[in-house]
Amino acid sequence: MIDLPIPRNDIDGLCADLDQSGYCLVERWLEPDAVSQAVTAIHRQANQTVPEPDRLADVEDWVIRDGDQWVLLLVLESELDHLITHRPALDLARHLLGQSIHLSGFSAHVVHPGNQVMELHTDQWWLPRPTMPGTEPFRPGDASRSVAYFGSPDPAGHPINPAAVINVMWALTDFSEASGGTRLVPGSHLSGVEPDPSVAWNVVHAEVPAGGAVIWDARTWHASGANTGNSARIGVTATYCAQQFRQLQNHTAAIKPGDYGALSDEMKQLLGFRLFSSYGATDSFEAEFSRPGFLREML
Ligand SMILES: O=C(O)CCC(=O)C(=O)O
């Protein structure tokens, strides 16, 4: 029986919880002012009915389904960007994934009262599983959400994939069982399989105050909970992936020409502009950062 993570702020303890349980809980990394500014930014984006034409991207900007609201592509929102480059959060991400990482996605998940509970899942279902020579291979190009390998959440007795992704979900309101805090299956990151949705697995409910965070290894079985309260639960997730994986949101395409020049090298790296041994090139294979075609003409 493992000790379940409790909310804390020290990196060593958080790393140990992440390794052991597949998730960790941050008690408070954000001051109340930063929380309220972030909430204002989320409301500003979420309450619009059409995407601002001069904002980032030509993608569906929010989706509300069964009480779940996603506010997508939040990069370059001034009240939120500091969450992406938050040093301890990046330290934890690099502890799990290694040094060269990208921001895979940056979105708010607003869980409204009376929402429909999400099914447990992992966030790297697309990564081919190790297979024994001579057995039917998992073809990477056939990966889809409907091709899942179910099993128990116990540690596998055979090699499994490393974590390729980590989620840092910032709590902008209190997370509790009643507010729809993230549900997690401790230890399931070592199972190498996905949760069978027809089974009622034992879960823990992440409980952290506003200003804290829930951080999980993408292999960990998880989902949001049921909000039985009377106000929305707001989380903002910075998802990081190792540099060789495709990002959830296409940040390199979403950046406006005028914004590219103002990005710090760290932000260019995180958004996916830094070349990885020629991968991601748009012009010279030797360039440090790639530039989309329209930027090559402008800069
Ligand atoms: O909103 C949450 O608590 C969890 C969201 C989730 O499952 C996900 O982003 O994959």
Q: What is the pLDDT of residues 126-168, one digit of tens each?
A: 999 898 899 988 899 999 988 889 999 999 999 999 999 999 9
Is 117 a pocket residue for ligand 1 (Cβ < 6 Å)? Answer: no
**2 is a domain residue:** no
- Of the pLDDT bands very low, low, confident and very high (cuts 50, 70, 90), residue 290 is confident
1 is a domain residue: no
Asked whether residue 75 falls in the same domain as residue 179, the answer is yes
**Ligand 1, pocket-test mutation among 69, 74, 222, most atoms within 8 A of CB:** 222
- CA of 5 relative to ligand 1 center, distance in Å: 18
- Sign of the C-alpha dihedral computed for residues 236, 240, 245 and 251 taken in this order: positive
For residue 293, pLDDT over 90 is answered with no
Q: Residues 179, 295: one domain?
A: no
Domain-located, residue 113 = yes
Residue 116 in contact with residue 67, Cβ under 8 Å? yes
What pLDDT shows up at residue 181?
98
Domain containing residue 187: 11-126+151-244
Ligand 1: atom nearest CA of 123 is: 10
Strand partners, 70: 63, 109
pTM assigned to the model: 0.93
Ligand 1 centroid distance, CA of 240 (Å): 14
User: Considering the domain boundaries, does residue 39 fall inside one?
Assistant: yes
Q: How many domains does the chain have?
A: 2
> Do residue 74 and residue 102 come from a single domain?
yes
User: For the chain, what's the residue count?
Assistant: 299
Q: Within this chain, do residues 261 and 120 fall inside the same structural domain, yes or no?
A: no
Structure tokens of 170?
Answer: 């910032």
Together in a domain, 221 and 270: no
Q: Report the nearest-CA residue for atom 2 of ligand 1.
A: 224
CATH of the domain at 86: 2.60.120.620
In the reported structure, the alpha carbon of residue 204 is separated from the centroid of ligand 1 by a whole-number distance in angstroms of 14
pLDDT tens, 94-109? 999 999 999 999 999 9
State whether 277 and 191 are in the same domain. no
* Whether residue 197 is found in the same domain as residue 298: no
Is there an atom of ligand 1 within 6 Å of 77 CB? Answer: no
User: Per-residue pLDDT tens for 244-278?
Assistant: 999 999 998 888 878 888 999 999 999 999 999 98
Which of 20-34, 65-79, 181-195, 228-242 is least confident? 65-79
User: What's the confidence (pLDDT) of residue 47?
Assistant: 67
Which is more confident, 139 or 56?
139
**Which residue is closest in CA terms to ligand 1's atom 1?**
224
**Burial degree of 47 (CB within 10 A; 0-12, 13-18, 19+):** exposed
Question: What gap in Å lies between CA 19 and CA 188, rounded to an integer?
Answer: 11
Q: Helix (H, G, I), strand (E, B), or coil: what is residue 14?
A: helix
276 CA to centre of ligand 1 in angstroms: 29
Residues 262, 224: one domain?
A: no
% of the chain residues with pLDDT over 70: 91
Q: Give 39's pLDDT tier (boundaries 50, 70, 90).
A: very high
Distance (angstroms) between ligand 1 centre and the Cα of 183 equals 9
